[in-house]
Structure 1
Amino acid sequence: MVTVQRRGLTALAAAVLLGIAACGAPETAAPAADAQEPWTWTDDRGKEISLPARPERVVAQSASAAALWDFGVRPVGVFGPHRLKDGGRDPEVGEVDIDQVEPIGNVWGEFNVEKYISLKPDLLVAGMYLKDTLWYVPEESAAAIEEVAPTLGVQLGGKKLTEIIERYASLAEALGADPAAAPVTEAKARFETASERLRDLAKAKPGLKVMVVTATPESLYVAYVPDHPDLAHYAALGLDIVSPAAPTESEGGFWEVLSWENADKYDADVILVDARAQSMKTEEMAEKPTWSDLPAVKAGQVYPWRAAERYSYLGYAKVMEEVKTNLEAAKDDVVD
């Protein structure tokens, strides 16, 4: 069986530009003098990072790079999903200009240590779904990577969506970005508006049941809501999101694994399906009779789930706007 990694599928069916762009966009950078002061940060592993000056050359996992980018930080390198097979930008890397950052790796398990060293990084940033485990940093290379520059982890699992976004905002500010820059304040206002509109929709359609899934050819994975910060946020706003009583133990949280024969275990008016490039596509899932027989599928109420959205106000404002648009059009009486 293919194991779905944490928030989705990194092992399903399982970044040389020497960019020297400094971390922090010119229009959002803090005064230059601040960069020369000693810099400290305690990450979510409890690890204290102390440097003689503010880090200027940051390499980040794609989701972290995307979040930092929205807050005004410009990494010099990125690893994790960022470029699609057709050369386009993977949605997981958000607004990052992938032609202006050095690619260190693009898929799970891929991290070019030599290229990383060539960038002379001051800091590496990655999220963590599991305690003390940096997302997309290969375990076999972790020690070598740590010797090059300090690593900084941002805890994602077990946190509220707003807490994670605010953590990235604080980190970006510490790296020289301006929290009062217009793009940041505008994005925050947009996020708050999107949240309220989703809350209003939930009130207007109290009977609408939503299920969130990802899949492999062998199994259907139903999201365990408490372990997904975005889904927990939507639920807190009032959306009725179907959730297993507990995740499958072998997954370490996040999912209940169902055989395709048991795909109808839960009733739902709407199904949100993992939209990432490495996830099983709905047209592939359609070949499974038990999928095609689900009421939401028959009703045409299957929409994308942005499972790897960056943790920024802009990122999730856009996602919630999309969710609201899709759910507004959905019937809430497909199942009882």
Structure 2
Amino acid sequence: MSGTEGWGFTDDRGAELGAARVPLRVAAYVRAGAALLDLGVTPVAVYGSGHDGEELDPAKAGGLRAVGVPYLGPGRALGAEALSELRPDVIVDVTYDGKSPYALDEAVAERLGIPLVALSVSGELTLPAILDRFAALAASLTAAPGRSASGAESAVGPVPAAPASESVPAPDLAAAEALLRSVAAGGGVAVLALSGAGTEQVHLARPQAWPELAHLAGLGVRLLDPGPGPGANWLTGDWAGVAELRPDLVLFDEREHATPPYALPSGVRLAPWNPETPPSPAAYARFFRDLAEALAA
């Protein structure tokens, strides 16, 4: 599709979006923006979620800081004026329920007449399906004549191309998966994924509710299930419950709003986990390699 033929994309809410030309200026939720950057589309700016503060969370930034993409703060605090000043052609968010964008009030985009793409990152999809959807969107956004992997201009001037190390082709993801599968087969290490919520509380991840954790299980990683109880994605309990599950390795939520591991049994190894890893082959290749190293330690 050329930039003169227009642009169309159906998002994961079933919304059919279109424009007279391929969008050049993309504003995005930080997770989506970091993924698009890996896939060759540099956003003009990114915004955070309700968990985020006024500064970009390093755990969620991906390569955005390295190329100077501006961060606007939490999306729910953004008004029409702030977005209007950016002059975006399209906004890209994620959705967990298949109905609403996660981090931005859709009414703001509607008032400005800006198409808003929401791609699902929920446990109803496999990780490969999520990666395919982001790749399809990126391909549609790089169809404009003359547009290169360096993307468009930002609101504050040209944004340089992503460093070469940030652009990892899909075959490298396959190699990282093969490495992780090989390491996981040799150890039988029990792995527990969690997010700290203070000194008295911790959220324990249900592996099958998280596309990347379910994918790890498919690669042979032995992930511990916290057991029955309320909560679709997490079982909330105390730190003593972590010890009862007897993990060998804890994947801890490294985002800034999460509490670092507070009280763990002696000898338990730690490895960081970002529950909002950018949905790109590059980001997951890095995560899988790092986890393979942690399992082998």
Shorter-chain TM-score bucket reads 0.7 to 0.9
Q: 1:102 to 1:187 in 2, by over 3 A?
A: same
d(CA) in 1 for partners of 2:240, 2:165: 48
Structure 2 length-normalised TM: 0.84
Q: 1:246 to 1:211 in 2, by over 3 A?
A: same
- Partner of residue 133, structure 1: 100
Q: Secondary structure at the match of 1:130?
A: coil
Q: Secondary structure at the match of 1:35?
A: coil
d(CA) in 1 for partners of 2:43, 2:137: 13
Deviation, structure 1 residue 56: 1.3
CA contact (8 A) 1:219 1:260 kept: yes
Aligned residue identity for 2:175: T
d(CA) in 2 for partners of 1:99, 1:317: 20
Q: 1:187 to 1:321 in 2, by over 3 A?
A: same
Aligned residue identity for 2:247: A
Q: How does 1:97-116 map to 2 (within 5 A)?
A: 97=65, 100-105=68-73, 107=74, 109-116=76-83
- After superposition, the C-alpha distances for 1:166-191 in whole angstroms (9 at most, x for unaligned) are 1111110100169xx89898521111
CA contact (8 A) 2:192 2:204 kept: yes
- Partner of residue 189, structure 1: 171
CA contact (8 A) 1:199 1:237 kept: yes
Structure 1 length-normalised TM: 0.75
Q: Secondary structure at the match of 1:36?
A: coil
Deviation, structure 1 residue 67: 0.5
Aligned residue identity for 1:123: V
d(CA) in 2 for partners of 1:276, 1:184: 20
Question: Aligned-residue CA RMSD in angstroms?
Answer: 2.7
d(CA) in 1 for partners of 2:189, 2:197: 26
Residues 1:237 and 2:219 are matched in the alignment:
yes
Deviation, structure 1 residue 80: 1.0
Q: 1:176 to 1:144 in 2, by over 3 A?
A: same
Q: Secondary structure at the match of 1:264?
A: helix
Q: 1:226 to 1:246 in 2, by over 3 A?
A: farther
Aligned residue identity for 2:128: T
Residues 1:117 and 2:84 are matched in the alignment:
yes
Deviation, structure 1 residue 133: 2.4
Deviation, structure 1 residue 216: 1.0
d(CA) in 1 for partners of 2:26, 2:111: 15
Q: 1:136 to 1:87 in 2, by over 3 A?
A: closer
Number of residues of Structure 1 aligned to a counterpart in Structure 2 = 275
d(CA) in 1 for partners of 2:56, 2:28: 19
CA contact (8 A) 1:73 1:177 kept: no
- Partner of residue 107, structure 2: 143
